[in-house]
Amino acid sequence: MSPMSPSQQKVLHDMVACRTAQLGGHAERCPPCGCERYAYHSCRNRHCPTCQTFTKAQWLEDRNAALLPVPSFHLVFPLPHELNPLILVHTRPLLTLFFAAASQTLGQFGQQNLGGQIGCTLVLHTWDQTLGGHCHVHCVIAAGALSADGARWIDANPHCLFPVRALSTVLRGTCLDALSQRCTTGALRGPEGPADRDTPAGVAPRTTHLRDKDWVVSAKKPFAGPEQVLDSVGRSTHRVAISKNRLVDVQDAQVRCTSRNRRQGDRVQTMTLEAHAWLRRVLLHVFPHGCMRLRHIGFLANRCKAQALRRCRELLGPPPDPPARRVKRVAEWMGQLTGTDITRGPECGYGPLLRLPLPPLPYSHPTPPPIWDSS
């Protein structure tokens, strides 16, 4: 087994220290009744299965506020499993390449089929229900486009946005052309193996057969509305691979967790793995520093989003513009999601509670990762 990367070591260290005295916290005391409770800080690592619940809720609220009063479509762009070994070695450049290919494909179809600029949110996943490798991008797209001059809104067919066979063909060509160019220029090398496989010339032949393979892009209209799709993909925007509620138990060096069998009608089943095997599967989906899993393209891109959305709503008419974005505090989110006011005492209801900071306990930092010579 290959040694852990610095990113993987940091993820494990943060997950172990999350919500413990190692990260410090605060005590909340109720002066009238003397009740006291402790709250420790979270690690806020984007890979942690217990962190960033309220960050995700704020993200969903912002995304729902940007939805237009038009139908939406949910597209899934997958990558063939034959590319998984190469992605494990070159995670950041290949996932960036995949994002760029998906964005270019959607932008091209928006111009050719609708004659304007589409708006799309893309979320990258690299795992399946069993924590295996399965790279795919979820796309939530408004059914329409803004003309190049911004003078009109172009409605799309509410039952079929783009032909999926043509999408699959263009995505395949765009991805493989970019991959071939990187291999030819020597920007990518193959996984560890014989010397001839580590050369660019040894990588390219293993991807040429993918041009003859069908890349299956799925597209459907979200029957429960775009809010339901955003909520579904939003569960993985601020954490990776698995959530805490899927863990059944951990004992005797074995981890039991639930998964859905897609081939048997999403039947929920229990999967048992050795602890080291489970950790290995989780670490496969740790993203390198700076590798993004969330992007917006078209008129939802950050550089033009405010002005473009305002123009789209003017062309579409009512409803009016949504209220201005407001970042909520954790206490507000807790009250909205659970109905509990965490600023008041749990017994007498007195509030606000008196907060006393708790300094973090001293702990040893993890062993510095070795520096690998890439020459």
Residue 263 CA: distances (Å) to CA of 6, 34, 186, 193, 282: 36, 55, 40, 34, 23
Query: Which residues of the chain fall short of a pLDDT of 50?
Result: 190-201, 369-375
Triad 172, 81, 184: Cα angle to 5°: 55
- 128: its two tokens: 């399946």
| pLDDT for the residue 1 | 52
Q: Do residues 275 and 255 touch, judged by C-beta distance below 8 A?
A: yes
| pLDDT for the residue 117 | 94
| pLDDT for the residue 323 | 65
* pLDDT tens for each residue of 305-350: 989 998 999 898 876 666 667 777 777 777 777 777 777 877 777 7
Triad 80, 269, 259: Cα angle to 5°: 40
Cis omega before residue 319 (within 30°)?
A: yes
- How far apart, in whole angstroms, are the C-alpha atoms of residue 263 and residue 239? 25
| pLDDT for the residue 180 | 85
Tally the C-alpha atoms within 13 A of residue 141's C-alpha that lie toward its C-beta: 33
| pLDDT for the residue 188 | 65
Alpha helix (H) ranges present in 49-204?
A: 53-65, 84-89, 91-109, 164-184, 200-203
| pLDDT for the residue 223 | 64
- How far apart, in whole angstroms, are the C-alpha atoms of residue 97 and residue 232? 25
Q: Which residues pair with 257 in a beta bridge?
A: 247, 271
| pLDDT for the residue 322 | 65
Nearest to 230 by CA among 123, 81, 153: 123
Sign of the C-alpha dihedral computed for residues 313, 167, 222 and 156 taken in this order: positive
**What's the fold here for domain 67-241+284-321?**
Replication Protein E1; Chain: A, (3.40.1310)
Give pTM, 2 decimals: 0.81
Q: Hey, where are the domains in the chain? A: 67-241+284-321, 243-282
Matching residue, tokens 């939802």: 300
